[in-house]
Structure 1
Amino acid sequence: MTKSKDKREKVSVASEIDRVEERRLRCHDSIERAEFRRRREELSDQDRQSLEDEMTIMNERMQKYDKELEVLRGENRRNMMLSVALLAVSALFYYAFIHY
């Protein structure tokens, strides 16, 4: 379990965002296909219920992915601000100690 967690920690936030967005897109496509099938096909009550259950599960997954994306984007924003701050501090040191 720690090996998979270690591998996941080595992945950049941007690639993690891309991975979650890809999963969310696949989930969204599955929902669209299920909705199309529900509208176009004559389904028995049992088939219709199982299709609606599947759509409910997919909607829950989409909500989970949306929350995960929100967290990842916040982390990405924080990392960007940290990078900008480090660049500003480096530039300040350069101009204060090297340039003068």
Structure 2
Amino acid sequence: MVKKREGLSVAQEIDGLEEKLSFCRQSMEEVDLKLRREELSPEGRKSLERERSLLVTKAETYERELKVLRQENRKNMAVAIAIVLLIIVVYTFWTM
């Protein structure tokens, strides 16, 4: 469930989440690189794998929230278009 932040539009929330998701993916790439290239102690490897697992979970959460926000954004756009079309129809009949 997406928590609505006070004063932020859906587009702003989407931008913020996309930024967080991008940072999360970048961090995952860095962890993956360390796991592949560095010689690590078993504890160090386990710690990095836990960190990667947490990052994957965060990324999945952000992706779900983005999906919900994008659906809400599409609904808002459809309502806006419907209102504009209604205004055009009313204006057209009013001026006839």
TM-score by length of 2: 0.94
Equivalent in the alignment of 2:52: 55
Cα offset, 1:91, TM superposition: 0.2
Please give the root-mean-square deviation of Cα atoms over the aligned residues, in Å. 1.3
For residue 75 of structure 2, what is the aligned residue in structure 1? Answer: 78
Task: Provide the rounded CA distance (Å) in 2 between the counterparts of 1:89 and 1:68.
Answer: 32
Q: Give me the whole-angstrom Cα distance separating, in 2, the residues matched to 1:91 and 1:23.
A: 40
- Identify unmatched segments of 5+ residues in structure 2: none
- Whether 1:39 aligns to 2:36 is yes
Which of 13, 20, 23 pairs up with 2:20?
A: 23
- How high is the sequence identity, in percent, across the aligned residues? 40
4+ runs of 1 displaced by more than 4 Å? none
| Shift, 1:10, TM fit | 1.7
Match of residue 10 from structure 2: 13
Aligned residues: 94
More helix by share: 1
Look up the match of 1:90: 87
